[in-house]
Amino acid sequence: MIRNGKTLAGIGGILLLLLLPACSQEETPQHAFEAYVSGWQALNYEAMYDKLSPASQTKISKDDFVKKYESVYKGIEMTDLTVKPAFPEELQKPVKNKDEVSVPFHVELNTLAGPVKFDQTAHLVKGKKEKDTVWQVDWSPSYLFPQLKDGDKVRVQSTEAVRGEIVDRRGNKLAYNGPAKQIGVVPGKLGDAAEQTKAKLAGKLGMKVEEINQKLSASWVKPESFVPLAYIQDGETEAYTKLPGVTFSSKEIRTYPFDEAAAHLTGYIGQISAEELKKLQSEGYRTGDVIGKAGLEQIYEKQLKGQPGYKIFITGADGTEKDTLAEKKMVPGQTVTLSIDANLQKLVYEQMKKDAGSAAAIQPLTGEILALVSSPSYNPNTFVKGISGTQYKQLSEDPKKPFLNRFTKTFSPGSAFKMLTAAVTIDGGVLNPDEQKPIKGLRWTKDASWGSYYVTRVHDASPVNLQSALTNSDNIYFAQAALELGKDKFAEASAKFGINEKLPLPYAFDTSQLYNKQIANDIQLADSGYGQGEVTMTSLHIALTYSALVNQGNIIYPSLLKEDKGKEKYWKPSAMKPETAELLKKDLVEAVKDPRGVGHGAAVPGKLIAGKTGTAELKKSKGEEGQENGWFVGFDAADPQLLVSMMIEDVKGRGGSGYITSRVKAVFQQYANGIN
C-alpha cells in the first residue's frame, strides 16, 4: 500500500539497480592460466599468444612466438606434452589487492633424446579487456625451458649409430664399416672448362652429364661445397687429379669384402624408402637412415642397426653451449657372428661362378651351416656406393638372373632324392637291400594303365640290388620301391625328413615339397621315387637329410649363428633307423668308390667320400627336350666334418651330374688343405 513507506522505498531501490549499467567481471588467475595451459597442451600457439600481457606481445610478435614453439618442438621431436599448474587457494578466486601473482607449474615431455621434466613459475599480471579485469601471462622464453634466455637457441646434435658387423665363425668380416674414397667437384673451382670437365667425369665414372648437373643443382650446394659424385678405388685418383674443380674425400661406408661370393648371403643396405619409413617410423627410423634391404642385413636389421645418439642443448647468442636439456648416448649395433666359414663360402663360389646354381655346406655332426652359395651373383658394394641405371638394367635383364637367390629356392632334386626313397622303403618293410631284382631293359612301365608313359634308366643291368641301384642311379629300381610302399605311406614317411615343412631358420627358404596338392596317381608316385614328379627341395634341405647318415638316422638341427650351435641337437629325430643309416652310408661310399659309378668323379684320394649324384629333367612331357639340372651331395664318411650339396643348372651336354662331381671334389680337397 502507498501508506507503507518501507515498501515503496524497497521497490524504488530495485528499479534503481535495473537502471544502472552492468558491473564489470573479474577473472581469477586460475581461470586465466588454465586457458593458457589448455592452448599449450593442444599446441595451439596462437591461443597461447592471445593470453600474453601487452608488454610480452610488444617483445615478441605472434608469428615469432608461434614459430619459436613450432621450431623448437619439431626440432626435438616433442611428444606427450603435459603441463600441470599448481594453484594456491588464493588464486582460485578474484584477487583484489595484487596486480601480479605467481603460478608454479610442472612440465613433462618426450624428445628424441629422451624425457625432459622441469618445474617453473609463471608470472601473471592484472589487466583490462574491454571493461573486464583479466589476468595475462607475462611470458618469458624460460617457460619453454628454464635455462632458455632471450637470444638463446635450442640445438639438436645427432650421432649416427655404428652398424654392427657380420662376421664368420673365425671373425672374418663379411660386412663391416670401412673407409671409401669419394670423388666430387667444388662448383666454384670448375672454371671456364666446367662443361668439358663434367663430360670427362661422366665418361670415366659411367654417368651421364645430366646426373652430374642434377647433383650440382641441389638446394644445399654452394660454390665452395664439395659435391660427391661417386666412389672410386684408392689407386684410381691419379686419373682425375688434372681435372679442375675435382677433389676427393674419405667416407666410412658399408663394405662387403667377399664381393659376389657372399652377396646373396649378406645382402646389402640402402637408404630407407618412404614406404619402409611409414612402417618403421615408430621404431625410431628417420628419413635418410640406412636399412637392410636383403639377406642377413635385412634379417638381422634390429641387431645390426644400433641406436643413434641425440643431444638437446642450449647455446647462447654467440653459439657457445650453455646447458644440456637431454641426452641419449649412441648404442652401436651388435656384431652378428655366423657359423659360416667365409673362406669355404668363397671356395664353393669359385667352383660355381661360371654357372647358375646353388650350394649348401654344413658340419653334419653339429648342424652348423658353413656355406650358402647362389650363382651367378652381383657385387653388393655396388649398391652401397651407388649403382647406375645402366648397371642395374644389365643385371636385372641378365638371363642368368644374378639377383635371384637360388639357395633359398627349391628345385627338383632328381636322383639325390633316392637316398630318402631307399630309407623310407627299407624302414617301411617293402625293400630288401640285398634282394636281386630282375629289371630288364632301359624302359619300364607298370601296366597298360600307364598308356605310353614309362620310366627310363641309363644302365641296362640285371639283377639289381640297392647297392648297384645307387651306384648306377637306377630310376626304375626306385620307382618300383615307391610303388611298393604306396602313396600314403610314402608321403607319411617323407614327412619325417621335414618335407612340406619350413626349415627352422630365420632365413626365408622356400618350403621343400613332395607334391603340389597330392600324389595324384601311380605315375606321379613312381616319378617321385627318383626325385622327379613334383618333388622340389632346397640345396640346404637336401644336405640336412643326408646328415641323418652320420647321426644314426637323426637329422641334425641347423644353425646359422655361431651362438646357436648345439642349442637343439636334432631337427628330425629318427628320420630313419640307425641300421638303415649305416647301410646307406656304406652303399654311398661304394657309389663314389666304384669307377663305374656316376659319382666316382667326386672320389678324393685318402678320403672316404660318400655321395649321390642327381640329374633332374625339366620338361613338360615325355620325349621332349628339356633343361637338365645336375646335383651332387657328398661327405667324408670316415671324418664327417663337411657335407656339401651342390646343384648346377643346365648340365645337359656338359657331362650331366658328372659336371658337378669334379667341383665338389675340389672343395673337399682344398678345404682339407687348410681352408677351414
Report CA torsion sign: 642, 648, 653, 656.
positive
Burial 29-51 (b: 16+ CB within 10 A, else e): bbebbebbbebbeeeebeebbeb
Place of cell 638316422: 553
Burial class of residue 495 (count of CB atoms within 10 Å of its CB; 0-12, 13-18, 19+):
middle
Nearest to 553 by CA among 585, 589, 580: 580
**Residues present in the chain in total:** 676
292, 452, 597, 624 from 621: Cα distances, Å? 42, 11, 28, 6
Place of cell 639325390: 416
CB 428 within 8 A of CB 493: yes
Contacts of 476 (CB under 8 A, 6+ apart): 439, 444, 455, 456, 457
Whole-angstrom distance, CA of residue 371 vs CA of residue 266: 12
Nearest 10 degrees: Cα torsion 169, 175, 176, 179: 140
CB 374 within 8 A of CB 406: yes
Place of cell 684320394: 605
Give, as one character, the DSSP assignment of residue 415. G
**DSSP string covering 17-74, please?**
HHHSPPPPPB--HHHHHHHHHHHHHTT-HHHHHHTB-HHHHHHS-HHHHHHHHHHHHH
Cis peptide before 376 (omega within 30 of 0): yes
Q: Return the SS3 of 359.
A: strand
Place of cell 619350413: 502
- Taking CB atoms within 8 Å and a gap of at least 24, the contacts of 550-554 are 550/364, 550/365, 550/581, 550/585, 550/635, 550/637, 550/640, 550/643, 551/364, 551/365, 551/581, 552/578, 552/581, 552/582, 553/577, 553/578, 553/580, 553/581
Alpha helices by DSSP H, 206-248: 209-216
Whole-angstrom distance, CA of residue 489 vs CA of residue 70: 71
Q: How far is CA 178 from the centre of its chain?
A: 20
CB 581 within 8 A of CB 587: no
CB 250 within 8 A of CB 184: no
Q: Of 56, 358, 375, 415, which residue is the catalytic one?
A: 415
Whole-angstrom distance, CA of residue 575 vs CA of residue 549: 10
Q: Return the SS3 of 467.
A: helix
Cis peptide before 558 (omega within 30 of 0): no
CB 381 within 8 A of CB 255: yes
33, 281, 514, 665 from 413: Cα distances, Å? 77, 43, 11, 19
Q: Return the SS3 of 589.
A: helix
Q: Return the SS3 of 216.
A: helix
Catalytic, 559? Answer: no
What residues act catalytically?
Answer: 415
